[in-house]
Chains A and B, each alone.
Chain A
Amino acid sequence: MKIQEKTKEALSTLFADLPPSEPEPDDAEEGEKKPVPRGNGIIEQDYLLKGFHLDVQLESEQLLEAVQIIFDLGYYLESITGVDWIKDDQLEVVYDFSRYDFDLCRTVLRTRLPRSAPQLPSITPIYTGASWHERETHDFFGIIFDGHPHLVPLLLPEDADFHPLLKDFKA
C-alpha cells in the first residue's frame, strides 16, 4: 500500500463525523481565492502542478492528533509557516511534512485561526524541531503556541513586539 493512501486513511479518521465530500482539486484552488474558505478535509493534489500530495485542512483541536499520526508514519517536519488572510480576518498556519524514503508523499496540514486570538497547541512534544519554526511563526505573525517551552523572539530582536508578515504591518 502506498504511503499516500495509508496516510489518507489514517488521517480520514479525524474527519469521520464529516459528511463525505467530493474532494475535487479544482474546487480547492477556487477555494483559495474565494471569500468562503474551504471546509475541513483531505484533498489529494496534483503533485506536478502543486508540488505536494496531500492537503489537509483541520480544526486546531485536531492538530496534535493529526501530527501524532503523521509522526508515527515516519514523516519528518519540513517547516511551519503562516499566511495572513486579512480579507477573511483569518490567519492560516501551514505545516509541511515530507519523507526520507522513496515513497514520495508531501503532506500539508493547515488550520485557520481568527486574527483576533491566534492560538494553537504547540507540536514540540512530538516534533522537537518544531520549536524554532514555531518561534519564527510567532515572531512573524504573532501566533501563540500553547505549551511551547520557550516562546521568545528568535529571528527578530529580543524585545520585538511587532509582527512584520502581517499584511497590516507598517514599518
Chain B
Amino acid sequence: MTEPISLQPDETFVLNVGPQHPATHGVLRVKMTMDGEYIYNAETVLGYIHRMHEKMAENRTYPQFMPNMGRLDYLSAMAFNHGYALVVERACGIEVPERAEYIRVITVELNRISSHLVWLGAYVLDLGGFTPLMYCFDDREQILDLLESVTGSRLTYCYFRFGGLYNDIDDDFISGTRAFIKRMRKELKMYAKLVTGNIILMRRLKDHGPVDQDMCQRYGATGPVARGSGINYDVRRNEPYSVYPEFDFEVPVYGECDSYARYLVRMDEMEQSLRIIEQALDKLPDGPVNPKKKPKLIKPPPGDYFAAVETARGNFGIRMVSDGSKNAYRLKLRSPTYSNMHLFDEACRGMLIADALAFMGSLDLVIPEMDR
C-alpha cells in the first residue's frame, strides 16, 4: 500500500457505495471511481436525510428549537444541547448555577463515553470482529439507563435549559455513576486486551488512512481526527467553557496520522472522561439547578454570537444572528463530521477499497449531523 500506484484513468469504473451500505453507518453515498481494487477518485454525496434544521430555527422560538439539537448527532446529543444552551446564555447574559454546570459536565462526559462505545463496537464490527460490539453495547446500556433516569430519554436528549437543567440528579444517579466508573475502568482494560492489541486490527489500521496536519488545516478537521494527527486541539482545553478548567484531565494526542492513532485517541478519551466525571462527582456543589432570575421570554439583543463545544466527534460551533425577536434570525450549525468527512475524498485516493472503508470508520461518522 505504501508504493504509489500507476493509475490509468481510461481503465476505471464507477462503484457506488451506499446510500444504503452497512459500512457507512447511515445514509451516505460515496461515488468511487475505481482502478481495479484501488480508488482513483471518490466523491461523497450528502443530503439524503437533510432536514433543514437551520430553517426550523428561524421558524421556532429559542426554547422550541432545543429538542432539535438531540436530532442532529444522535450519539452525542448532550454536547449539542450544551452548545446551543451556551450560545443563547451568552447572548442573553443568563448565569448558570454552579451545580447545573457540574451536572452538565457529568452528563456530557457520560454521553461522550457512550458515543465512543458505539463507535468502538461498530468500528470493530466493520473490520470483521463481532464480539466487541456486544460488550460495548452492554456498557453503553448502563449509561443509557443512568441518563434515562435523569433526562427521561435514552438517545435524543433534551435535558439542558437556558440557564440550567430540566431535572436535578438524585443519589441513585450518583451512586450508579460511581459504580459505572468502577465497572468501566475494568472494561477498558478488557477492551485493551481484546481489541487494542489485536494483531489483525493493528495491521488493518496502522499506516492506513493518512491525514496530516496540513490536511486538517485545509479541511478544518477537529476532534479525534485532528488529535490523531498530532494536533493538540480540544475545545474543552483551548477555549474553556463551563467548568472544564476546574478539572484535571489530559487531552490524548497521537502523531502517527493513521487510523490507529485516531483509534487510540478515542480509547484514551474514554479514560479521561471517566476522570472528569469522577472529579465532578467529588466536587459536586449543592444548590439549585436553575437560575433564580431568568428572562421569561428569550429575546437576545441584536447581533451575532458564537459558541463552540467539544462533542465526541470534534468542534461543534453555533453562529447565531439575532434581530431581537423571539426567533433566531439565522442559526448556523457547524457540525464536526461535516469537515472531518470532507477530507475523505482526498485522503482515500490510491487506497484499497477495504482500507478506505476502515479509514471511513475511523472518522466516526454520524450522518444526521452532517446532513442536518
Chain A interface (Cβ < 8 Å from any Cβ of B): 29, 32-33, 48-52, 71, 74-79, 81, 83-84, 94, 96, 98-102, 104, 106, 108, 127-129, 131-132, 140, 153-157, 164-165
Q: Nearest chain-B residue to A160 (Cβ)?
A: B47
Tell me if B's interface is mostly helix, strand, loop or mixed: mixed
B332 at the A/B interface (Cβ < 8 Å)? Answer: yes
Q: Which residue of the partner chain, among B54, B55, B87, B219, contacts A129 with CB atoms under 8 Å?
A: B219
Min CB distance, B33 to chain A, in Å? 14
Further contacts, 15 of them, CB under 8 A, given A76-B221, A100-B226, A104-B238:
A33-B302, A48-B90, A76-B218, A77-B218, A79-B220, A81-B330, A83-B329, A94-B332, A102-B238, A127-B220, A129-B218, A129-B342, A154-B46, A157-B47, A165-B330
Interface residues of B in 189-248 (CB under 8 A from A): 216-222, 226, 231-233, 237-239
B52 at the A/B interface (Cβ < 8 Å)? Answer: yes
Contacts of A140 in B (CB 8 A): 54
Does the CB pair A29–B302 fall under 8 Å?
yes
Does the CB pair A96–B317 fall under 8 Å?
yes
Q: Which residue of the partner chain, among B55, B87, B324, B334, contacts A164 with CB atoms under 8 Å?
A: B55
A-B contact pairs, 6 of them (CB 8 A): A79-B319, A81-B332, A96-B306, A98-B317, A108-B304, A154-B47
Does the CB pair B217–A100 fall under 8 Å?
yes
* Cα distance, A100 to B233, chains bound together (Å): 5
Name the residue among A75, A98, A101, A140 with the largest chain B CB count within 10 angstroms.
A98
Does the CB pair B218–A127 fall under 8 Å?
yes
Does the CB pair B305–A50 fall under 8 Å?
yes
Q: Nearest chain-A residue to B50 (Cβ)?
A: A155
Interface residues of B in 257-311 (CB under 8 A from A): 301-308
B372 at the A/B interface (Cβ < 8 Å)? Answer: yes
Tell me whether A156 and B305 are in contact in the complex, defined as CB-CB below 8 angstroms, given that A78-B315, A83-B329, A100-B233 are known contacts.
Answer: no
Min CB distance, A34 to chain B, in Å? 10
Q: Lowest 6 CB-CB distances: which A-B pairs, in order?
A: A129-B219, A51-B306, A79-B334, A155-B47, A81-B332, A33-B302
Q: Nearest chain-A residue to B216 (Cβ)?
A: A76
Min CB distance, A99 to chain B, in Å? 8
Q: Which residue of the partner chain, among A33, A48, A96, A164, contacts B319 with CB atoms under 8 Å?
A: A96
Contacts of B232 in A (CB 8 A): 100-101
B80 at the A/B interface (Cβ < 8 Å)? Answer: no
Does the CB pair B317–A100 fall under 8 Å?
no
Does the CB pair A165–B55 fall under 8 Å?
yes
Does the CB pair A50–B220 fall under 8 Å?
no
Min CB distance, A95 to chain B, in Å? 11
Does the CB pair B305–A51 fall under 8 Å?
yes
Contacts of A78 in B (CB 8 A): 220, 315, 317, 334
Tell me whether A33 and B334 are in contact in the complex, defined as CB-CB below 8 angstroms, given that A50-B304, A102-B238 are known contacts.
Answer: no
Q: Which residue of the partner chain, among B50, B58, B324, contacts A156 with CB atoms under 8 Å?
A: B50
* Cα distance, A104 to B317, chains bound together (Å): 15
Does the CB pair A51–B87 fall under 8 Å?
yes
Contacts of A131 in B (CB 8 A): 342
Does the CB pair A98–B54 fall under 8 Å?
no
Contacts of A76 in B (CB 8 A): 216-222
Q: Nearest chain-A residue to B345 (Cβ)?
A: A131
* Cα distance, A98 to B342, chains bound together (Å): 18
Contacts of A132 in B (CB 8 A): 46, 338-339, 342
Name the residue among A52, A156, A157 with the largest chain B CB count within 10 angstroms.
A52
Contacts of A157 in B (CB 8 A): 47
Does the CB pair A128–B346 fall under 8 Å?
yes
Contacts of A104 in B (CB 8 A): 238-239
B343 at the A/B interface (Cβ < 8 Å)? Answer: yes
Does the CB pair A106–B306 fall under 8 Å?
yes
Q: Which residue of the partner chain, among A51, A74, A83, A96, contacts B330 with CB atoms under 8 Å?
A: A83
Tell me whether A32 and B315 are in contact in the complex, defined as CB-CB below 8 angstroms, given that A78-B220, A78-B334, A100-B233 are known contacts.
Answer: no
Does the CB pair B302–A81 fall under 8 Å?
no
Contacts of A100 in B (CB 8 A): 216-217, 226, 231-233, 238
B323 at the A/B interface (Cβ < 8 Å)? Answer: yes
Does the CB pair A29–B303 fall under 8 Å?
yes
Name the residue among A32, A99, A127 with the largest chain B CB count within 10 angstroms.
A32
* Cα distance, A75 to B216, chains bound together (Å): 11
Does the CB pair B329–A129 fall under 8 Å?
no
* Cα distance, A45 to B317, chains bound together (Å): 18
Contacts of B79 in A (CB 8 A): none
Contacts of B221 in A (CB 8 A): 76, 129
Q: Which residue of the partner chain, among A32, A49, A51, A102, contacts B302 with CB atoms under 8 Å?
A: A32
